[in-house]
Amino acid sequence: MSQGFKPVTTRPQEIEDLSFQMITEELGTHPFTEEQFPVVQRVIHASADFELGRSLLFHPRAVQAGVEAIRKGRPIVADVQMVQVGISKPRIEQFGGGVRVYISDSDVVEEAKRLGTTRAIVSMRKAVREAEGGIFAIGNAPTALLELIRLVKEGTARPGLIVGVPVGFVSAAESKEELAKLDIPFITNQGRKGGSPTAVAAVNALSLLAVKG
């Protein structure tokens, strides 16, 4: 057998520790608070993208609100299944919470057809009815985020925290600009980048903070 590259380590915790050390060193000076930094680190860890990490924007109460929502066992709503499966469950479940996704529910699919709109939009309407005070993690659909913002503005939705980081070329950056105008807890980023791993990384960083205390 030919000799190939040998990794420094194959132990997951060692890989993560070494990665976080590299991220801290390479990032250098940054505008984030001590409380926000673990979220930024984990987003960079999931993307290997410092530009994406630096583009993150936090409402002043965002991290605290996210940690509190998890500790109170409030539900986490994922916009798509990729976000749902990526979020680490044990740390959420130990506080009585869980991770929900509504976009493929049969009533959502039917309602979207009936109204001639997207499943993403209808799933947010269902989510705000069923997950008050929860964390809304939106990594994919700008239309879902825009609908959630609309529901917040009209007073129908009272999320504990919105993690709004959809990726894309059409409406993604604009939807995040709208989110950043709200005075409720949010984590978002400037520009087109983001996506499911960004949403997952932010929530996983928050649940780690919830456990560490």
- Residues within the interface to a second copy (CB under 8 A): 1-2, 4-5, 7-12, 15, 18-19, 22-23, 45-49, 81-82, 84-86, 117-118, 121, 142-143, 146, 149-150, 153-154, 167-172, 174-175, 177-178, 191-197, 200
Q: Which CB atom, from 36 or from 143, has the smaller least distance to a second copy? A: 143
CB of 127 to a second copy, least distance (A): 17
45 is catalytic: yes
Q: How far apart (Å, rounded) are the C-alpha atoms in residues 22 and 31?
A: 18
Answer yes or no: are the C-beta atoms of 76 and 201 closer than 8 Å: no
Q: By C-alpha distance, which of 35, 23, 22, 72 is closest to 206?
A: 35
Residue 6: how many CB atoms within 10 A of its CB? 7
CB of 27 to a second copy, least distance (A): 12
CA Rg, the chain, in Å? Answer: 18
Q: From the candidates 38, 40, 43, 45, which is the catalytic residue?
A: 45
CB of 118 to a second copy, least distance (A): 6
State both tokens at 126.
């269902």
Catalytic sites, residue numbers: 45
